[in-house]
Amino acid sequence: MIKTPLCDLLNIEFPILQGGMAWISDAQLAAAVSNAGGLGIISSMNADENWLRSEIQKAKSLTDKPFGVNVMLMNPHVDKIAQVLIDEKVPVVTTGAGNPGKFMKLWIEAGIKVIPVVPSTGLARFSERAGATAVIAEGGESGGHVGEMSTMPLIPQVCDVVSIPVIAAGGIGDGRGIAAALMLGAVGVQLGTRFLVAHETNIHENYKDKIIKAKDIDTTLSGRSLGHPVRSLKTTFSKDFIKAESDPTTPPEVLEEYGRGALRIAAQEGDSQKGCFMAGQIAGMIKEKQSVKEIILTLADETETVLKGGLQWVK
């Protein structure tokens, strides 16, 4: 059994979180992860409060275990979303793309555990000071919007500056990765890419097939010039985007417009001409579509084996 303080803190069996993924992690996936003993997280992306309320209620009908909601702070409906989380007594909220300061107090007073995703030690310290329950330190190996730091140097440095629990994310795909994260000082992990291929993940089959086919070198970064780089699989879309981006005459608005909705197209239509298939560098290691339960039990087993095996080097 792998047990860390995060299990008690979040009331979960395994210290494994399924990261919020826009257009992808819905009630079905989140509930499956929570039922399997991890913490499932619904992504509220740019959705409005009505969509989120019904998704939360759906998750509650599918699991009696705790689950979380990922809030994108740039969401125009964020004020109403923040209130729905309180009304529905969602146990855990993770935040990305912005500063949760404004809602922190409200959520914490309502008993919600707030876990910001941070790309640097500065934001980790800032989050702790604002009352965060824990932080997810995410390295740029991950899929989706990424920071500059890699997981390996980020995790121990974040662990050194905060006293709240640190959850590692970015580039973790099996028990070796989880064991390594724990050795770096994290007490839990968040995975995104590995869950893309779960049977319960409601995305176009092309997306899952592309992840299975991907090699280590098959992801790329686009959107650097816009200030928010995105890691995705190399496809016609990503190549065209990077070409447009490197042409100084392309106005940023055109790029923003081009990128908008591209993840939705990938997830729902599986179209590699127009879709942006966000995925992390660990995609190359994912070779099998499995149920969420198989994924979580395999991860937990592997972690245990790897951690026990580590002692062989201690003479």
Partner 1 sequence: MVLEKVVEILRNYKDEQDLEVTMASTFEELELDSLDTVELVMEIEEAFDTSIEMDGELQTIGDVVTLIEKAIA
Ligand X SMILES: Cc1cc2nc3c(=O)[nH]c(=O)nc-3n(C[C@H](O)[C@H](O)[C@H](O)COP(=O)(O)O)c2cc1C
Report in angstroms how near the CB of residue 75 gets to partner 1 at its nearest: 14
**Segment 143 to 172, residues that bind partner 1, using CB under 8 A:** 147
Q: Is 116 in the site for partner 1 (CB under 8 A)?
A: no
Report in angstroms how near the CB of residue 282 gets to partner 1 at its nearest: 24
Say which DSSP state 265 is in.
Answer: I
Residue 24 near which of ligand X, partner 1, none (CB within 5-8 Å, type-dependent): ligand X
Report in angstroms how near the CB of residue 240 gets to ligand X at its nearest: 19
Measured distance CA(132)–CA(229) in Å, rounded: 25
Residue 99 near which of partner 1, ligand X, none (CB within 5-8 Å, type-dependent): partner 1
Q: Which of 11, 120, 202, 206 touches partner 1 by CB under 8 A?
A: 120
Report in angstroms how near the CB of residue 176 gets to ligand X at its nearest: 14
Write the interaction track for partner 1 spanning residues 174-213; mark x where CB under 8 A is met and - where it is not.
----------------------------------------
Q: Which of 15, 20, 116, 119 touches partner 1 by CB under 8 A?
A: 119
Q: Which of 129, 224, 243, 308 touches partner 1 by CB under 8 A?
A: 129
Measured distance CA(44)–CA(126) in Å, rounded: 24
Measured distance CA(308)–CA(41) in Å, rounded: 30
Residue 284 near which of ligand X, partner 1, none (CB within 5-8 Å, type-dependent): none
> Other CB atoms closer than 10 Å to residue 86's CB: what's the count?
16
Report in angstroms how near the CB of residue 232 gets to ligand X at its nearest: 8
Distant-in-sequence, close-in-space partners of 97: CB < 8 Å, separation ≥ 6: 72, 73, 74, 145, 228
Q: Is 123 in the site for partner 1 (CB under 8 A)?
A: yes
Residue 125 near which of ligand X, partner 1, none (CB within 5-8 Å, type-dependent): partner 1
| CB nearer partner 1, residue 3 or residue 102 | 102
| C-alpha distances out from residue 132 to 114, 164, 174, 188, 221, Å | 5, 8, 27, 16, 30
Estimate the share of the chain in helix, then strand, then coil, as percent rounded to the nearest 5.
Answer: 45, 15, 40
Residue 169 near which of partner 1, ligand X, none (CB within 5-8 Å, type-dependent): ligand X
Measured distance CA(62)–CA(49) in Å, rounded: 20
Measured distance CA(277)–CA(269) in Å, rounded: 11
Distant-in-sequence, close-in-space partners of 205: CB < 8 Å, separation ≥ 6: 270
Tokens of 234: 């190399």
* Residues of this chain that bind ligand X (CB under 6 A): 19-22, 24, 43, 45, 70, 72, 96, 117, 138, 141-144, 169-172, 190-194, 278-280, 282
> Other CB atoms closer than 10 Å to residue 145's CB: what's the count?
19
Cβ-contact 185, 166 below 8 angstroms:
yes
Measured distance CA(308)–CA(59) in Å, rounded: 36
Tell me the backbone φ, ψ of residue 209, rounded to 5 degrees. -65, -40
Report in angstroms how near the CB of residue 123 gets to partner 1 at its nearest: 5
| CB nearer ligand X, residue 35 or residue 44 | 44
**Residue ranges in contact with partner 1 by CB under 8 A:** 98-99, 101-102, 119-120, 122-123, 125-126, 129, 147, 227
